[in-house]
């Protein structure tokens, strides 16, 4: 009996480890209502009110250390330069920069645990999208409406930074999304000019293959973002580009995730994968970049900041790389690029130094500072009338498209949180051999699962749409 | 017994106080860092908490009902059982073989024991990233040269082999720890019994089966239980090695808990999965302990 009791105790202690890893949520539950199903422990309204109360500054003249978290490691040097300059002008304020790695999903996961633990960074840079509302709704962000930044930045067409009529974030840079293109490999294969239509793209890859480049299209599908690089290009340019209502129609049942749009997307991807490395599911982005730097492939979907990284990895590539829109269109006249706000900055509502945080925030949006951040990401500054002459040569072909308004935005930024991560998993499954019908069925089921779990999302999405006049 | 009789009542009280004082710091730490999160985790499993919002609603057993109808859970749950089963078996077999070999007297045995134990002290994340590189580059190149397609195209990127690769790395990392427990068991065997068996003509595998293995039964019990519960809770190694991919081919339930909680913002549901995983571990550990203890008793 004694042995059994010890065994039971040991088993419980060992199993307890499952919780202790992720436990400790920070918020206390109201015990008196604990037994009542559906009872509100703290109302959303209360949460919102508490977020709007400006916390009191802990020290006015004493040394202040603010923490700034970013998911974009390429910005660190620029941020440190800006904050060093700020420290020289404000000797009592030091801003420490921390990188939260793991891409968008990794950053969001880390932030979720930091916010829950009440130990978030004072300022943080993250992806512009529905995430802002998710944070604001929880009372995690400081109201920035009266900081005056809205007047400084370019017009915000989709106000994803607005929750309940108040601004909680502002975009940092205007960025592009598309294909890295090695022109030297193209020239050696006899490809002249930049492919602008899908047929030209396929023809260019055929020529490259004939010239000895076995896999001209590098796909790093081990990482979810690499697996879905093409998927998002197609969604932005073709699906939502041609029908901006598409996602809303998917949410309301007029369109579905197993409809012809998704089927066409996967069929197009299938054609491209004929030219891609067969080990794509085992290739992560870092190793894919190494291959691209070794000139083993000519095309790869990535952000424009990668161009600089590649030129550092192999200086011989300087001047040979271009950043081009994914050539998905049937006619040259339809040729458009993808450009939109990419990241934004918010202030944590729990910061001990709200005034200092706001001052640093404003400083980041001064033209020369904003330009430094944008330049570090090979993007365009969002500050009105900013100088764009610094824009990298690899992006110069896109400037006329931007000037002519021939671009589409990031469509998925307004989608339900979590769906991108699910898409990444399902696309990997499909590349790994799952048949198309099952893939589309899984997409539909998973999206519905998220919608069922967040019934308020659709209402918020409709509010966002009505504010943009869609 | 005689000692107890000589103890005065005040002596007992003094000992009790002394032991309690010595025990108290550990108890407080255990309550704060283990019991409290467990209780809070269980409470949150009955809520719809999103992990960000302070608005938390009690929803009764809805999360538990969802779990048992959720198609998303099936694959990770299956993977977790497959992973735990094979890690437990392979790690124990390998560790026992290594322990038997390294219990012999030869010059380099201490060096070999140290080498085999080194992966145990490495961080699981480092091991995961290290093997991720090995599978991607050197092993793929080797596979290419040998003409083995499975190796050539990176085993971590193949739905059929990713979980197997995870099991291999997990065993590689943990076998040293299990081996040390077996070694301790082997060194506790009375040499006289071994010698008596030799005199009786018991040799080789027979000696292992009828003498050695029964006498290391306590080590076997503890290793089976520890390796199994560790495998059920595995997170960081697989996270670094495959991220649960490709797709969800190597996704364990612990990764699903992480995703539901922090990527899909369903922390309440994530807590529910945590409670269920804990219950699975408790039930299986109890079962193993009871069966293996009974076996030990029979041997005694």
The answer, for A157 touching chain B at a CB cutoff of 8 Å, is no
Residue B247 to residue A434, Cβ atoms within 8 A: yes
Residue A287 to residue B136, Cβ atoms within 8 A: yes
Coil, helix or strand at residue B16: helix
Q: Where in chain A is the domain with CATH 3.40.190.10?
A: 55-172+342-391, 176-339+413-468
Q: Which two tokens stand for residue A230?
A: 């093409």
Residue B53 to residue A33, Cβ atoms within 8 A: no
B 238-257: CB under 8 A from A = 243-249, 254, 257
Residue A221 to residue B246, Cβ atoms within 8 A: yes
DSSP-assigned letters across all residues of A382-447: -BTT---TTS-GGGGGGHHHHHTT-EE--GGGGSPTTHHHHHHHHHHHHHTT--HHHHHHHHHHHH
Is pLDDT of B186 > 90?
A: yes
Name which of B57, B143, B265, B266 to mutate to probe chain A: the one with the most chain A Cβ atoms within 10 A of its Cβ: B265
Q: Taking the C-alpha atoms of A211, A213, A218 and A221 in order, what is their torsion angle to the nearest 10 degrees?
A: 130
Residue B229, pLDDT score = 93
The answer, for B218 touching chain A at a CB cutoff of 8 Å, is no
Closest to A357 measured CA to CA, from A347, A365, A367:
A347
Residue A22 to residue B58, Cβ atoms within 8 A: no
Residue A113 to residue B274, Cβ atoms within 8 A: no
Which residues sit opposite A358 in a β-bridge? none
CATH architecture of the region A55-172+342-391: 3-Layer(aba) Sandwich (3.40)
Write out A159-212 in H/E/C secondary structure: CCCEECCEECCEECEEEEEEEEEEHHHHHHCCCCCCCCEHHHHHHHHHHHHHCC
Q: Which two tokens stand for residue A430?
A: 């499909």
Backbone angles phi, psi at A301, to 5 degrees: -80, 130
Name which of A71, A281, A348, A422 to mutate to probe chain B: the one with the most chain B Cβ atoms within 10 A of its Cβ: A281
Q: Which two tokens stand for residue A331?
A: 């006619």
**What percent of chain B stands above pLDDT 90?**
56
Helix segments in chain B, DSSP class H: 2-6, 9-30, 36-44, 62-67, 71-102, 109-121, 124-136, 138-146, 149-152, 162-187, 191-199, 204-207, 213-215, 217-232, 236-241, 253-258, 267-299
Nearest CA in chain A to B253: A18
DSSP-assigned letters across all residues of B261-293: IIIS--HHHHHHHHHHHHHHHHHHHHHHHHHHH
Q: Which two tokens stand for residue B67?
A: 């779990």
Name which of B50, B53, B60, B249 to mutate to probe chain A: the one with the most chain A Cβ atoms within 10 A of its Cβ: B53
Residue A39 to residue B281, Cβ atoms within 8 A: no
pLDDT along chain A (470 residues), means of 10: 56 57 39 34 37 48 90 91 95 94 85 88 93 88 92 87 92 91 94 91 95 95 89 92 89 89 95 94 90 94 88 90 91 86 94 94 93 89 79 80 86 85 91 94 90 84 70
Element (H, E) at A96: strand A93-99
Q: How confident is the model at residue B108 (pLDDT cuts 50, 70, 90)?
A: very high
Closest to A21 measured CA to CA, from B64, B77, B236:
B236
Q: Nearest 5 degrees, angle CA A451-CA A457-CA A460?
A: 155
Rounded Cα gap, residues A266 and A431, in angstroms: 10
Residue B285 to residue A14, Cβ atoms within 8 A: yes
Of A42, A139, A279, the CB nearest to B56: A42
Looking only at Cα atoms, what is the longest distance across chain A?
Answer: 83
CATH 3.40.190.10 fits A176-339+413-468, yes or no: yes
> Residue A355 CB: number of other CB atoms within 10 A?
14
Is pLDDT of B102 > 90?
A: yes
Q: What is the ipTM of this complex?
A: 0.74
Contact A357, A83 (CB under 8 A): no
Rounded Cα gap, residues B23 and A17, in angstroms: 21
Coil, helix or strand at residue A97: strand
The answer, for A138 touching chain B at a CB cutoff of 8 Å, is yes
Locate tokens 């660190």: which residue?
Answer: A76
Which residues in chain B are contacts of A280 at CB distance < 8 A?
157
Which residues in chain B are contacts of A108 at CB distance < 8 A?
262-263
pLDDT tens, B139-170?
888 888 888 877 888 889 889 999 999 999 99
Closest to A210 measured CA to CA, from A182, A190, A235, A233:
A190
Rounded Cα gap, residues A164 and A358, in angstroms: 21
B 62-121: CB under 8 A from A = 70-72
Name which of B226, B249, B262, B280 to mutate to probe chain A: the one with the most chain A Cβ atoms within 10 A of its Cβ: B262
pLDDT tens, B203-252?
888 888 888 888 899 999 999 999 999 999 999 999 999 989 898 899 99
Structure letter (DSSP) for residue B252: -
B 172-191: CB under 8 A from A = none
The answer, for A120 touching chain B at a CB cutoff of 8 Å, is no
């Amino acid at each position: 009996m004694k042995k059994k009791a010890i065994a039971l105790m040991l088993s419980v202690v060992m199993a307890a480890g499952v919780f202790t890893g992720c436990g400790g949520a920070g918020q206390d539950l109201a015990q008196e209502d604990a037994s009542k199903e559906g009872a509100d422990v703290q109302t959303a309204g209360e949460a919102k009110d508490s977020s709007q109360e400006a916390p009191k500054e802990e020290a006015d003249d004493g040394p202040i250390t603010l923490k700034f978290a970013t998911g974009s490691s390429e910005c660190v040097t620029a941020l440190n330069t800006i904050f060093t300059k700020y420290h020289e002008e404000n000797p009592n304020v030091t801003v420490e920069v921390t990188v939260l790695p793991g891409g968008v999903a990794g950053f969001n996961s880390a932030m979720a645990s930091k916010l829950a633990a009440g130990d978030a960074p004072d300022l943080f840079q993250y992806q512009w999208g529905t995430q802002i509302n998710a944070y604001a709704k929880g009372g995690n962000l400081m109201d920035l409406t009266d900081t005056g930044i809205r007047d400084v930045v370019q017009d915000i067409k989709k106000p994803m930074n607005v929750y309940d009529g108040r601004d909680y974030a502002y975009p940092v840079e205007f960025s592009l999304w598309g294909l890295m293109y090695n022109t030297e490999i193209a020239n050696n294969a006899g490809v002249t000019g930049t492919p602008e239509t899908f047929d030209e793209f396929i023809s260019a890859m055929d020529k490259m293959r004939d010239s000895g480049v076995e896999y001209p299209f590098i796909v790093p599908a081990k990482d979810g973002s690499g697996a879905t690089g093409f998927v998002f290009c197609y969604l932005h340019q073709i699906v939502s580009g041609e029908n901006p209502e598409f996602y809303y129609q998917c949410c309301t049942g007029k369109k579905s995730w197993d409809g012809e749009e998704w089927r066409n997307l996967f069929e197009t991807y299938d054609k491209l994968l004929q030219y891609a490395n067969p080990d794509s599911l085992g290739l992560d982005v870092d190793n894919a970049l190494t291959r691209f730097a070794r000139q083993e492939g000519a095309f790869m979907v990535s952000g424009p900041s990668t161009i600089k990284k590649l030129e550092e990895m192999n200086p011989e590539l300087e001047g040979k790389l271009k950043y081009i829109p994914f050539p998905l269109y049937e006619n040259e006249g339809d040729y458009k690029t993808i450009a939109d706000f990419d990241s934004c900055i918010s202030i944590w509502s729990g910061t001990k130094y709200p005034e200092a945080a706001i001052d640093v925030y404003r400083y980041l949006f001064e033209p020369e500072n904003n330009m430094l951040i944008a330049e570090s990401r090979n993007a365009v500054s969002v500050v009105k009338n900013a100088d764009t002459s610094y824009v990298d040569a690899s992006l110069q072909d896109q400037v006329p498209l931007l000037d002519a308004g021939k671009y589409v935005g990031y469509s998925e930024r307004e989608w339900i949180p979590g769906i991108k991560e699910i898409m990444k998993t399902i696309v990997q499954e499909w590349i790994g051999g799952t048949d198309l019908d099952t893939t589309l069925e899984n997409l539909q089921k998973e999206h519905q699962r998220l919608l069922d779990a967040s019934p308020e999302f659709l209402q918020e999405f409709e509010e966002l749409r009505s504010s943009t006049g869609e | 017994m005689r000692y107890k009789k000589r103890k005065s009542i005040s002596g007992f009280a003094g000992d009790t106080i002394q032991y309690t004082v010595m025990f108290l710091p550990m108890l407080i730490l255990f309550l704060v860092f283990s019991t409290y999160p467990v209780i809070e985790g269980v409470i949150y499993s009955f809520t719809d908490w999103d992990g960000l919002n302070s608005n938390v609603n009690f929803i009764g057993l809805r999360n538990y009902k969802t779990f048992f109808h959720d198609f998303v859970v099936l694959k990770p749950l299956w993977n977790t059982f497959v992973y735990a089963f094979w890690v437990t078996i392979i790690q124990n077999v390998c560790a026992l073989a290594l322990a038997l070999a390294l219990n012999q007297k030869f010059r380099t045995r201490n060096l070999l024991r140290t080498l085999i134990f080194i992966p145990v002290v490495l961080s699981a994340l480092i091991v995961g990233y290290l093997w991720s590189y090995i599978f991607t580059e050197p092993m793929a190149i080797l596979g290419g040269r040998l003409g083995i397609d499975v190796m050539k195209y990176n085993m971590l990127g193949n739905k059929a082999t990713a979980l197997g690769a995870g099991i291999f790395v997990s065993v590689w990392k943990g076998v040293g720890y299990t081996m040390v427990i077996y070694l301790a068991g082997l060194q506790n065997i009375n040499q006289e019994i071994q010698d008596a068996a030799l005199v009786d003509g018991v040799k080789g595998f027979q000696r292992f089966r009828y003498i050695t293995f029964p006498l290391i039964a306590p080590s076997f019990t503890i290793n089976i239980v520890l390796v199994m519960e560790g495998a059920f809770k595995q997170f960081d190694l697989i996270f670094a090695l495959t991220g649960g991919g490709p797709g969800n081919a190597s996704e364990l339930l612990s990764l699903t808990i992480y995703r539901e909680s922090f990527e899909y913002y369903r922390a309440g549901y994530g807590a529910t999965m945590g409670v269920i995983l804990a219950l699975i571990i408790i039930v299986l550990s109890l079962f193993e302990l009871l069966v293996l203890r009974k076996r030990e008793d029979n041997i005694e």
